[in-house]
Amino acid sequence: MDVIIESLPQYWDGFLRTLFLAVVSGIIALVAGTLLAAARVSPVAALRGFSMAYVEVVRNTPLTIAFFFAAIVLPRLGVTFEQFEVAAIIALSAYTAAFIAEAVRSGVNSVPVGQAEAARSIGMTFGQVLSLIILPQALRTVIPPLINILIALVKNSSVAGAFFVLELFGYGKQLANDHGDAVMWVLVGVAFFYLLITVPLGYIAHQVERKVAIAR
């Protein structure tokens, strides 16, 4: 147990970096994912095709391969970063965006047809229908799945620890090396800090879900 208290500064640093990775990648992925979903339902065939292909390929790509590409292959190809956090954020947001696009699209499909018809019948264009009528309602209904995707994002950010970023998992590996006699406690400490993020988020998702269920 002592090792956890001893190493609190490292844990805290790792915790903050994990949060940082998750928040930055989360925001990028939310924006990119919503745009991808909009492209998926747009009248322009090329946009639809691109969005579909992107989502299909990325959802079937293991995250480790995305990280390997961003952190090890890209630098060899001349794309270099100051810090490996950049590679981690690229991999995490590109990966998560595909899942968010799917969730938002299912939300768009769940909005009653009459909403879009009414909007069109008063003369709104596609852009107006989508941004003023459909998306605000769609996003509301997909908040619980979106939160679940963000929980997965927090957990997925642990892969960054294996690609030269010192976040929670990275510190966990390092501390486990330094304290060979207390490996178990070191990793239990890491687990605790992950649960500190994921359990409250899960609770929020559950509460929102119940509220939405009643509202409908």
Question: Residue 215 is encoded by which pair of tokens?
Answer: 């509202």
> DSSP assignment of 148-191, as one string?
HHHHHHHHHGGGGGGTT--SHHHHHHHHHHHTGGGHHHHHHHHH
Q: If binding is defined by CB under 8 A, does position 132 make contact with other proteins?
A: no
Candidates 19-27, 29-37, 84-92, 150-158: pick the segment binding other proteins (CB under 8 A): 150-158
Q: Which of 1, 2, 9, 46 binds other proteins (CB under 8 A)?
A: 46
Residue 176: C-alpha distances to residues 8, 169, 184, 195, 216 (Å): 14, 10, 8, 19, 49
- 119 close to 128: Cβ distance less than 8 angstroms: yes
**CA dihedral (29, 96, 49, 78) positive or negative:** positive
Tokens of 30: 């939310």
Residues 73-92 that bind other proteins (CB under 8 A): 73, 76-78
Binding mask 169-198 for other proteins (x = CB under 8 A): x--xx--x------xx--x--xx--xx--x
Residues in the site for other proteins, rule: CB under 8 A?
A: 41, 43-47, 50, 56-57, 59-65, 68-69, 72-73, 76-78, 99, 103, 113, 116-117, 120, 125-126, 129-130, 134, 144-145, 148-149, 151-152, 155-156, 158-159, 161-162, 169, 172-173, 176, 183-184, 187, 190-191, 194-195, 198-199, 202, 205-206, 209
